[in-house]
Structure 1
Amino acid sequence: MKTLKIAYWGSTSIIVLVMLYSGFAYLTQPALQQGFQHLGYPGYFRVELGIAKLIGAVLLVVPVSARVREWVYAGFAFTFISAFIAHAASGDPIGNKIGPVIFLAILGVSYAAWVKRSVTEQRTQVA
């Protein structure tokens, strides 16, 4: 149980920190505005995505219903997959493509640990 807790909080902390940083950076750094233009996205999408990342990061650490948490995980998964596809389609170097894949794997660890913890907690409550 302790290993599961460490896996959950370690991986979730990484995702939350990355999303808080990138969400804030999307809203404040001109270089990222140019990056979105390079990928062919409109300016409003950068703002939308930045706000969504900030909200999602908060929702991963506050107590919310399982359904809301599932949607946060799904949203982040879509974000990482879409980032990989966008960088691959624009011909960016491998360094730009590998980051989203790595964070998708970390998100998978967080999600799997969360599901396992939830099941374990339900079994404990029933017993």
Structure 2
Amino acid sequence: MTKTKKISYWIATLWLSLGMLSSGIFQLLQMKAGMDVIVHLGYPAYLGPILGVWKVLGVAAILAPGFVLLKEWAYAGFFFVASGAAVSHVIAGHPFGEVFPGVLLLILTLTSWWLRPVSRKVPSVQAVTA
């Protein structure tokens, strides 16, 4: 892995982690700003703390060494949450400024996943059987 790719991976991963952790804490603690958005989009208020727990756990999984299969699940979860948020805001007719955070988290998720080092990837079936 080149130095540039490694630095790019960690920048994307740390920004993704910061975004998911901060929004997860807002939702977990049921802070008014985070809950208002969820309810305004038409989702039940109880979804906030559920998403908050999974976001915090996902950040831990992505940053911790090892647990490569768990990392794949965390990336998948982040993909679903970020794309779901972006689409929900678009469907609700919100301006781009409200859609952008979801799009940004989606881009960071895909970038971090794409650039992750070999040590953070699930070995392929061919590599295991060879």
What's the TM-score bracket when you normalise by the shorter of the two chains?
Answer: 0.7 to 0.9
* 1:70 matched residue in structure 2: 72
| Matched pairs, number | 119
TM-score (norm 1): 0.86
Corresponding position of 1:82: 84
Question: Which sections of structure 2, spanning at least 5 residues, go unmatched?
Answer: 124-130
- What percentage of aligned pairs have identical amino acids? 34
Compute the displacement of 1:67 (Å): 1.3
Render the CA deviation track for 1:16-47: whole Å, top value 9, x for unaligned.
11111111111331122122111111111111
After TM superposition, where is structure 1 displaced by more than 6 Å over at least 4 residues in a row? Answer: none
TM-score (norm 2): 0.84
Q: Are the aligned partners of 2:28 and 2:50 in contact in 1 as well (CA < 8 Å)?
A: no
Instruction: Indicate the RMSD between aligned Cα atoms, in angstroms.
Output: 1.7
Residue 64 of structure 1 deviates from its aligned partner by 3.2
Indicate which of 78, 85, 97 corresponds to 1:95: 97
Aligned partners of 2:95 and 2:47: how far apart in 1?
Answer: 23
Matched, 1:53 2:68: no
Aligned-partner residue type, residue 33 of structure 2? A
Q: Is the 8 A contact 2:23 2:34 kept in 1?
A: no
Are 2:36 and 1:27 equivalent residues in the alignment? Answer: no
